[in-house]
Amino acid sequence: MRRRIIVTVSAVVVVALGLGAVIWFWAVPHWRPALQDGERYGIDVSAHQDEIDWEAVADDGIQFAYIKASEGEGWVDEWFEENWAGAAAAGLDRGAYHFFTLCAPGEAQAENFLSVAPPDADALPPVIDLELTGNCSERPPADQVAAEVDAFVELVEQAWDRDLLFYVRPDWDDAYPVRDGLDRRLWDYRFFRRPTDERWHVWQVNTFARVDGIDGPVDLDIMRNGE
């Protein structure tokens, strides 16, 4: 009797684990939340995605893409130009983003970004990506970091003549609070949960979504209110 119970419980556990694996590895990457009025699906990409079939991406219901342009004061994404051209050819709206590093002056980072992604009236608003994951090991004082971020923002906004969109991950905001009092729109990361901050313009839904035309996981986003 005891052996039968153990076998039954083991079978139930195996089935449950198998079902969980199916949900996690298939259902979750393919899940897209229902769009509300004025919203559309998009992705954000970098060299991590390697070569992208942008026509297939567009055919999979994706209408915009944010493309990594630069990082720090000298690094340029090797796939930026090809992704920039490919997204446009497929009819997607496109925008460029810069990964802000703690290891370089804000002014130098702005110059790097602008050398790769000069002002484009037809593009989506440029983005500053603020996160500690993948950043350098330095942790300067908060006032110094704020000054460097301000320098980057001022130069890029002056060149583009439009406000930057701020992507702020929780790890950055914990170390260098920026969301409180921010008078810019947000690109908010909320895993499967709709943002509660009404300043959100883009919502990063999932960081391991599956989209046709891309070999491997990609970030899925939703944009609202026009561009």
Q: What is the pLDDT of residues 120-168, one digit of tens each?
A: 999 999 999 999 999 999 999 999 999 999 999 999 999 999 999 999 9
Do 134 and 62 have their domain in common? yes
Domain count, the chain: 2
Do 40 and 17 have their domain in common? no
Mean pLDDT value across the chain: 90
**Greater model confidence, 226 or 14:** 226
Do 107 and 199 have their domain in common? yes
Do 21 and 129 have their domain in common? no
Contact 168, 181 (CB under 8 A): no
169 — pLDDT class (breaks 50, 70, 90): very high
Q: What is the pLDDT of residue 10?
A: 43
**Greater model confidence, 177 or 16:** 177
Structure-token match 């989506």, residue found: 124
Q: Which amino acid is at 116?
A: V
Q: Is the pLDDT of residue 21 over 80?
A: no
Do 65 and 142 have their domain in common? yes
Do 130 and 86 have their domain in common? yes
Residue range(s) defining the domain that contains residue 8: 1-30
- This prediction has a pTM of 0.87
Do 19 and 125 have their domain in common? no
Do 2 and 82 have their domain in common? no
Do 12 and 94 have their domain in common? no
3 — pLDDT class (breaks 50, 70, 90): low
Structure-token match 């925008």, residue found: 95
State the number of CA atoms in the 13 A half-sphere of 2 facing the CB: 0
Do 101 and 18 have their domain in common? no
* HEC profile of 60-82: CCCCEEEEEEEECCCEECCCHHH
Do 148 and 50 have their domain in common? yes
Q: Identify the CATH number of the domain in which residue 60 sits.
A: 3.20.20.80
181 — pLDDT class (breaks 50, 70, 90): confident
Strand partners, 76: 70
22 — pLDDT class (breaks 50, 70, 90): very low
| 106-116 helix and 142-160 helix, angle to the nearest 10 degrees | 30
Do 22 and 89 have their domain in common? no
Q: What is the pLDDT of residues 68-115, one digit of tens each?
A: 999 999 999 999 999 999 999 999 999 999 999 999 999 999 999 999
Q: Within a 10 A sphere around the Cβ of 112, how many other Cβ atoms?
A: 21
